[in-house]
Chain A
Amino acid sequence: MSATIHVENARKHYQSGDTTVRALDGVTIEARPGELIGIMGASGSGKSTMLLIAGLLEPPTEGEVFFRGERVSCPGADLDRLRAFRRRNIGFVFQKANLIPFLSAIENVALALKIDDVPKRAAHDYAEALLVELGLGHRVDNRPARLSGGEQQRVAIARALANDPPLLLADEPTAALDSVRSRHVMELFRTIADVRGASILVVTHDPRSVDLFDRVYEFSDGKIVATSRRTAPEALAAH
């Protein structure tokens, strides 16, 4: 089976004054259906830049991005045209939940569906089902201000999942949460990958969750300096 996302030898250079910042310097990564991939590395090592390129929000200065084997981005690509593509195929989660403050939890999730022209009733029902699935059944009618940080983040994840995208990109989704809730959110990603077969890229600083990742890319200065694989579950079970 081909990779959901495949970023091939991507470079991203930013010009600031006379100096060129090499935010990404020849990086290749891929994620297959059902895989939860970790991206780790020091601050400024290019992790977020990687997500921008994989998420079709910035074109690479050099290199290519393939989605299910099809080239979708390359230097100079006009990405604004890909808005509808993004809406169906990529879900985003950030450190901050970025929920719309004047909408309830369920409305925030349903909005993602309405944007994709799902009828109101169906959007509402599916949003509710998603929130129940993420353990927020009792919070659906609350506005974000009345939810805890962990709950807000789960609503944001539900919203990212609403259109059933094959690819989920998360940039430090647990940075604002305590360790128990962080673990909870990471386990949620694991489940989503397993049950829905989504490919998930998670940028994180938290080493305690590495056991959940299928693969971890270690970034440094815009390059991948190490790739580690999780021991296969069968192997663990054999112990």
Chain B
Amino acid sequence: MSLALKDIAFSPTRFILTVLGVGFLITASIGMVGIYRGIVDDAMLLVEKVGADLWIVQGGRQGPFSEGSSVRADLDQRVAGVAGVTSARRFLQVSQQFDAPDGVGQMRAAIVGLDYPKDEGNWIDLVAGRSIATGHFEAIADETIGLALGDVVRLNHDDYTIVGITRQMVDLSGDGILFVTINDAMEIAQRRSSEEVLLTRAVMDDAGPEAALSPAANKVAAVLATVDPAADIAAVRASIAAWGDVNVMSRADQRDLLLNQRLWRLRVQILAFTGVLLIVMTIVISLIIYMMTLEKLHQIAMLKLMGARNSLITGMIAQQSAAISFLAFGVGIGLAKLIFPLFPRRVVMAPDDITYLFIAVAVIAACASLIGISRAMRVRAQEVLA
């Protein structure tokens, strides 16, 4: 057994506490990065899964993920008529609070409309049940909402039966998605509250009876177009944009919008916080190694007096630093695996991120060793006599 390990075995309590402490810091770092990855993944989920090549949204706007967007519900027919477009689906998303089926408390969901029967929702991964099979009053719920198969929920005067369950289908803010048909979604969006209706009615008094019903009547948020791979997507995009009353966004535009605009501050914030954690970790590990070295200065002087090579002394310090860091890394990962699944939002532990963190911890351990070693090297053998 090496000197380093014997020293550790000599005072195991302190060593274990140190490893635990540093381990928690590592868990926190994994958590920070994981929460970030989780939020990004969740935000991208719908955009990636729904598989649209072009998003046709309200003119002059950035689409439903950025701000309000509403286009006429028959816009899909115009889009479908454009050469190169193979399919056009209507898209609508509304956040809704509703009573739980057992009548106790409230639930939240992001209600997304599927353009049934054009879109039967085959792209949705179900963990239980089936997809939507009729035009009305069936819903697929994400398990995070808290609904079970067969549950019936009342959304805006109508009862919806849960026929399918998904896992980890959430929106940008982490609310579980509840899929219904587009017509149902329009219905839910249209009469979100009677007060809202009254308010608009007052405003739009002279805009005709249809408009007075609701501003959301016969409106969807966007139309999703799939383009023939053989067609020139830029040309398709340009021809739709030429209508002037709509804005066209590609999937890459949506991704960029989400990552670099909507989530930008959050990303910077989380990365900055991770940086702070790594700095704290560096200071903590360095301080521990430095204290352990200070404690042993007398013995180090004795070793020098006995003619020990520097490698024996540097080896002892470096091994202890490595032991603390790498064991703490293991503890950190173990804890992360244990506790993050219990977190309300997804914490993604990507192998790449773990690798980078491991490299960061290795660098931190090396820095800490250097600080201890440089102190140890300044000790003179004569100091034994002091």
Pick from B7, B11, B308, B385: contact of A115, CB below 8 A.
B308
With known contacts A98-B302, A102-B7, A102-B10, A52–B307 Cβ distance under 8 A: no
Interface contacts (Cβ under 8 Å), in number, total 55
Are B302 and A83 touching (Cβ within 8 A)? no
B interface, by DSSP: helix, strand, loop or mixed? helix
Measured in the bound complex, the distance between the Cα atoms of B180 and A116 in whole Å is 80
Whether B381 sits at the interface, judged by CB under 8 Å, is yes
Q: How far is the CA of A26 from the CA of B328 in the complex (A)?
A: 58
The answer to whether A83 and B309 touch across the interface, beta carbons within 8 angstroms, is yes
- A102-B382 contact given A86-B307, A87-B307, A115-B306, CB 8 Å threshold: no
By a CB distance below 8 angstroms, the chain A residues around B6 are 102-103, 107
Q: Is A64 an interface residue (CB 8 A)?
A: no
Say whether A98 contacts B382, CB under 8 Å: no
Asked whether, in the complex, the Cβ of B385 is within 8 Å of the Cβ of A48, the reply is yes
Residue contact B307 to A98, C-beta cutoff 8 Å: no
Which A-B residue pairs are the 9 nearest by beta carbons? A87-B307, A102-B10, A98-B302, A83-B307, A86-B307, A115-B308, A102-B7, A57-B382, A102-B6
For B306, the chain A residues whose CB sits under 8 A away are 86-87, 92, 111-112, 115, 159
A 101-122 contacts with B by CB, 8 A: 101-103, 107, 111-112, 115-116
Chain B residues in 8 Å Cβ range of A103: 3, 6
Is B385 a contact partner of A52 (Cβ separation < 8 A)?
yes
Q: Which residues from chain B contact A115 at a C-beta distance below 8 Å? A: 303, 306-309, 312
Cα distance, A87 to B307, chains bound together (Å): 5
Q: How far is the CB of B297 from chain A (nearest CB, A)?
A: 12
Inter-chain contacts of B219 with A (CB < 8 A):
none
Determine which residue in B3, B11, B299, B302 has the highest number of CB atoms from chain A within 10 A of its CB, and name it. B302
**A159 CA to B306 CA, complexed, in Å:** 9
**Docked pose: A52 CA to B11 CA in angstroms:** 34
Is A116 in contact with B307, judged by CB distance below 8 angstroms? yes
CB <8 Å contact, B309 and A98:
no
Interchain nearest-CB distance for B378 vs A (Å): 13
Q: Which residues in B have their C-beta under 8 angstroms from that of A98? A: 298-299, 302, 384
Residues of chain B with a CB closer than 8 A to A100's CB: 3, 299, 302
For the complex with contacts A57-B382, A88-B307, A107-B6, 19 further pairs of A-B residues with Cβ separation under 8 Å are A48-B385, A52-B382, A52-B385, A57-B305, A57-B381, A58-B382, A83-B308, A85-B307, A86-B307, A87-B308, A92-B384, A94-B385, A98-B384, A102-B10, A103-B3, A111-B306, A115-B306, A115-B312, A159-B306
Q: Would A101 and B298 be within 8 Å (CB), given that A58-B382, A87-B307 are in contact?
A: no
Contact of B305 among A58, A92, A107 (CB under 8 A): A92
Contacts of B298 in A (CB 8 A): 98
Interface residues of A in 94-150 (CB under 8 A from B): 94, 98, 100-103, 107, 111-112, 115-116, 143
Q: Which residues of A contact B89 (CB under 8 A)?
A: none
Q: Is A151 an interface residue (CB 8 A)?
A: no
A171 at the interface (CB under 8 A from B): yes
Complex CA gap A82/B302 in Å reads 15
> What separation, in Å, do the CA atoms of A94 and B381 have in the docked complex?
13
Q: Chain A residues with Cβ under 8 A from B309's Cβ?
A: 83, 115
